[in-house]
């Protein structure tokens, strides 16, 4: 079964609930700045949530010289193995969409969307359903 994010920017109000849900589910910290997903205004009052696209031929995986980024075959996400990461920032610089992030102020750890192990918290909490994680095909 394949799942995919369905993003409807017309419904996104930029309320940043997804950010909070993401930050809290990953870090148990209530700071939206620690999120892996960000609603970004592409025009005045028009928002689109941006997170890792889990590319097929991912630049981050290629850029990691230490094999810390690997595709999780069950969830389809590219997972970061924190034990292998040396925080060289190669993936942060290489990702063409800027979705490998640095958790500044927290030991500069690299963070990226891992699809919450197959059940993304952000989609659950989106109040307008602008972000839905659904089955495809």
Partner 1 sequence: MVNITINGKVVRATEGEMLLDVIRREGINIPTLCQHDALEPAGNCRLCMVEITRTEWDGWKKYVTSCLYPVEEGLIVSTHTSELHEIRKTILDLLLANSPHSDVLQKMAEEYGLHKTSYEPNLEGDNCIMCYACTRICEVLGKSAISPVMRGHEKVIAPPFGEEPPDCIGCLACAHICPTNVITWTDENLTRTIWKKKFELIACEKCGKATISRDFAEYLIEKRGLPKEYFNTCDDCKRVELAQKMGALVDKAKEVAL
Q: How far is the CB of 86 from partner 1 (least distance, A)?
A: 5
Query: 88 or 132: whose CB is closer to partner 1?
Result: 88
Query: 21 or 80: whose CB is closer to partner 1?
Result: 80
- Alpha-carbon distance 71 to 61, whole Å? 8
Query: 43 or 136: whose CB is closer to partner 1?
Result: 43
**How many angstroms separate the Cα of 6 from the Cα of each of 21, 48, 65, 95?**
17, 11, 32, 21
Q: How far is the CB of 71 from partner 1 (least distance, A)?
A: 16
Contact positions toward partner 1, by CB under 8 A?
Answer: 7, 9-10, 38, 40-43, 46, 48, 50, 59, 62-63, 65-68, 81, 83-90, 92-102
Instruction: Name the helix (H) or strand (E) containing 133.
Output: strand 131-136
- Alpha-carbon distance 27 to 9, whole Å? 27
Q: How far is the CB of 7 from partner 1 (least distance, A)?
A: 7
- Alpha-carbon distance 122 to 134, whole Å? 13
Query: 93 or 119: whose CB is closer to partner 1?
Result: 93
């Amino acid at each position: 079964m394949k799942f995919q994010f369905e993003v409807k920017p017309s419904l996104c109000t930029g309320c940043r609930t997804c950010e909070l849900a993401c930050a809290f589910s990953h870090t148990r910290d209530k700071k939206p700045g620690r999120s892996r997903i960000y609603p970004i205004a592409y025009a005045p009052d028009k928002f689109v949530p941006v997170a890792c696209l889990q590319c097929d031929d991912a630049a981050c995986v290629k850029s990691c010289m230490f094999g810390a980024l690997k595709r999780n075959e069950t969830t389809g996400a590219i997972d970061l193995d924190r034990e292998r990461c040396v925080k060289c920032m190669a993936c942060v610089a290489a990702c063409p969409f800027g979705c490998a992030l640095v958790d500044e102020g927290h030991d500069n750890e690299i963070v990226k969307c891992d699809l919450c192990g197959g059940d993304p918290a952000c989609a659950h909490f989106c109040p307008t359903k602008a972000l839905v994680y659904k089955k495809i095909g």
